[in-house]
Amino acid sequence: MRNPALFLSFCSVPCASKLHPPVQQVAVVKCLSSLLITTQSIEEEEEPARDLQSSDLVLLFDLVLHIAMSCDVKMEFIKEENDDDTCHQCGKSLSCKASLKEHMRIHTGEKPFTCPQCGKSFLRKGGFKIHIRIHTGEKPFVCQHCGKSFISQGTLGTHLRSHSNEKPFKCPQCEKSFRRKDLFSRHMRVHSGEK
């Protein structure tokens, strides 16, 4: 059985970007943590996997960013089943061995990332990096509508809903809608009687 793979269709939208490889080419990234990539034409067999060079990574991630931000193209993320990447404690299927290793910390309670300033520990490096910004004051995510800055992409996303009427969290019992998940969760406790 093949490793889990991330399939990215290269951008086929005509534009001035030099990021576009030939339209008929598809990148198959085998487990981002192991940084292997193969390329494959629609008509051809898969070429052997090779280690990514730093220039490949820059182009690949620039391309992903370009597609996400500029083109009306959907990216498909496909996970093939692989028993080696399934948690034997809860049955959750993960995308690769590195994700499984990180997931296992939920069961073991391991929090390997500790803030040197306040001692708070984190399960994931991403959460740790966001936390550090609280101490440094860094807010790299800026709202294009009002200029307000945020410590994470997630908090910016929540804020952006305040500029629109989007309320994605809908109560199935009373049809009330909420912009923020925490407010939705608090509302759901009203229905359940939970305090």
| pLDDT tens for each residue of the chain, 195 residues long | 333 334 444 444 444 444 444 443 444 444 444 433 344 433 444 444 444 444 555 555 555 555 555 544 444 444 455 557 889 999 998 878 888 889 999 999 999 999 999 999 999 998 999 999 999 999 999 999 999 999 998 899 889 888 988 888 899 999 899 988 889 999 999 888 876
Q: What is the pLDDT of residue 158?
A: 86
Of 176, 168, 165, nearest to 190 by C-alpha is 176
Q: What is the pLDDT of residue 83?
A: 58
The whole-model pTM stands at: 0.51
Q: What is the pLDDT of residue 26?
A: 43
Tokens of 37: 């990539």
Q: What is the pLDDT of residue 112?
A: 94
Residues 184 and 171: beta-carbon distance below 8 Å: yes
Rounded Cα–Cα distance for residues 153 and 155 (Å)? 6
DSSP codes, the chain: -PPPEEEEEPP-S--S-TT---TTEEEEEE-TTTTEEEEEESSSPPPPPEEPPHHHHHHHHHHHHHHHHH-S----------GGGB-TTT--B-SSHHHHHHHHHHHH----EE-TTT--EESSHHHHHHHHHHHH----EE-TTT--EESSHHHHHHHHGGGS----EE-TTT--EESSHHHHHHHHHHHHT--
